Amino acid sequence: MSVVTRFAPSPTGRLHVGNIRTALHNFLFARKEGGAFILRIDDTDRERSTDEFDLAIRDDLEWLGLTADKLVRQSQRFDLYEREFARLKAAGRVYACYETPEELELRRKVLLGRGLPPVYERKPADAPAQEDRPPHWRFRLDHHSPIAWNDLIRGEQKFDPKLLSDPVVRREDGSWLYLLPSVIDDIDLCVTHVVRGEDHVSNSAVQIQMFEALGSKPPLFAHEALLVAAEGKLSKRLGSYGAEHLREEGVEPIALLDVLARIGTSQPVEPIASVEELAESFDFSTFGRAPAHFDPHEVELINARLLHHLDYALVADRLPAGATEQDWLALRGNIERLGDFAGWLAVLHGDVDPPELGHDERLLVKEAAGLAEKIDWSGEPWRALTDELKRSTGKKGRDLFHPLRLALTGRESGPEMAPLVLVMGKEMIVRRLEAAARR
């Protein structure tokens, strides 16, 4: 069986981390199995769906590296839905209903008041149609046998169809609700695995009967625990945190994917530089049932750890013009975002204002300037310079290294000095030390 997965967002807003996590897991599973990943734009709601959000969703997925093998839009598939709906209607598996929302809500309250489950009550087959009101349409569930499947994450699932309401599949105005078109698409596109949040478990139960009513074997289901904010509930910030935010912040997309691929599983969250490597280790058996706690700070930490070990070739086209591999290797260990690199590049090759030093510190850097002229620059000049200074001044630790760092970089902290000194070279080192000694 060739694996086919799909991600089906509605173009009514931007993708947030919950959506992205679902897309990622579908993508990783398809890649691991050598299958196909389909992007299905669920744009049947023409009032709320926009071309702007359609484009934004596709652009965000491309930026994240989650490239679809096929793109379909539900708005272009209405003829298919009509044909399959007609088949179900002829078979008696969909039927017209005339209740208003107010009538349904009143009946629901009556049932709850009697301690009964608020399940929709079918009208008798010979009940008269209400000619003055257009109908909405429900799918008729088969009550004769339980609905059961082996979920790839949740294990054995079982529903009594008598405790489920016949779901509405079409509104009075003829527009479609989610459940039936999704099943028709999955059949037509040969989707083999449906990976989505556990809030869809009851939807899967009724959709299984829809697959069977259309003469198709249901796909395999994997319902993952929902994503929640680190403090324990889905926050407004988490609901808006997504690719747009990360792009503005200058965070590497793979840093987000590294976190979303592993949280809620038994696998460690760690910096992994490619989606291909993430796909190799993807395994539904590692997923837990507890909510997956998402912390944006974890993305920032992973982002920094990724950059600290990222090869020059993977970032060269995004670095300032003229930046060399030596520059990157000298600076990468101290940046949290790629945008930080430009500031440090100016330290390496530009001008640094001499810092204000105390009397003893000025004497130290003046001594360092003289020694820098004499040491051997063909080996490890930073070690040679600091070793000579220790011997000549008796200074060590912060008293030795802090004034030197300030004089050479103008900053209180930063990357290891040894590679910086090699990039700066003898002439710049001597010049900056002498300038700091004179101030």
Q: Are residues 319 and 377 in the same domain?
A: no
Give 163: exposed, middle or buried? Use CB within 10 Å, 0-12, 13-18, 19+: exposed
Q: Are residues 355 and 433 in the same domain?
A: yes
Q: Are residues 239 and 301 in the same domain?
A: yes
Q: Are residues 284 and 333 in the same domain?
A: no
Q: Are residues 53 and 32 in the same domain?
A: yes
Residue 211 lies in a domain: no
Residue 193 lies in a domain: no
Residue 108 lies in a domain: no
Cα angle: 247, vertex 250, 252; to 5 degrees = 85
CATH assignment of the domain containing 398: 1.10.10.350
| pLDDT recorded at residue 168 | 96
Q: Are residues 387 and 318 in the same domain?
A: no
Minimal CA–CA distance to 178: which of 3, 48, 29? 48
Minimal CA–CA distance to 385: which of 370, 398, 399? 370
Token duo for residue 208: 């299984």
Residue 343 lies in a domain: yes
Coil/strand/helix, residue 23: helix
| pLDDT recorded at residue 237 | 55
Residue where one domain finishes, among candidates 309, 336, 360: 309
Cβ contact 282:262 at 8 Å: no
Minimal CA–CA distance to 242: which of 64, 65, 62, 48? 64
Q: Are residues 284 and 357 in the same domain?
A: no
Helix spans in 380-416 (H)? 381-393, 398-409
* CA distances for 413 relative to 261, 341, 402, 406, 410, angstroms: 34, 15, 8, 8, 9
| pLDDT recorded at residue 1 | 65
Going by C-beta distance under 8 Å and a sequence separation of 6 or more, which residues neighbour residue 52? Answer: none
- What pTM value is reported for the model? 0.88
Q: Are residues 342 and 398 in the same domain?
A: no
CB neighbourhood size of 159 (10 A): 19
Q: Which domain holds residue 325?
A: 313-348
Domain count, the chain: 3
Residue where one domain finishes, among candidates 284, 309, 334: 309
Q: Are residues 330 and 355 in the same domain?
A: no
Token duo for residue 199: 């809030």
Tens digit of each residue's pLDDT, the chain (439 residues)? 699 999 999 999 889 899 999 999 999 999 999 999 999 999 998 888 899 999 999 999 999 999 999 999 999 999 999 999 999 999 999 999 998 888 888 988 988 888 888 888 888 776 776 767 899 999 999 999 899 999 999 999 999 999 999 999 999 999 999 999 999 999 999 999 999 999 999 999 999 999 999 999 999 999 999 998 876 544 445 666 788 888 888 899 999 999 999 999 999 999 999 999 999 999 999 999 999 999 989 999 999 999 999 999 999 999 999 999 999 999 999 899 999 999 999 999 988 899 999 999 999 999 999 999 999 999 899 999 999 999 999 999 999 999 999 999 999 988 899 999 999 999 999 999 999 998 7
Residue where one domain finishes, among candidates 309, 340, 373: 309
CATH assignment of the domain containing 254: 3.40.50.620
Which conformational region is residue 215 in: left (phi greater than 0), alpha (psi within -120 to 50 degrees), or beta? left
| CB half-sphere exposure, 311, CA atoms < 13 A | 5
Q: Are residues 397 and 329 in the same domain?
A: no
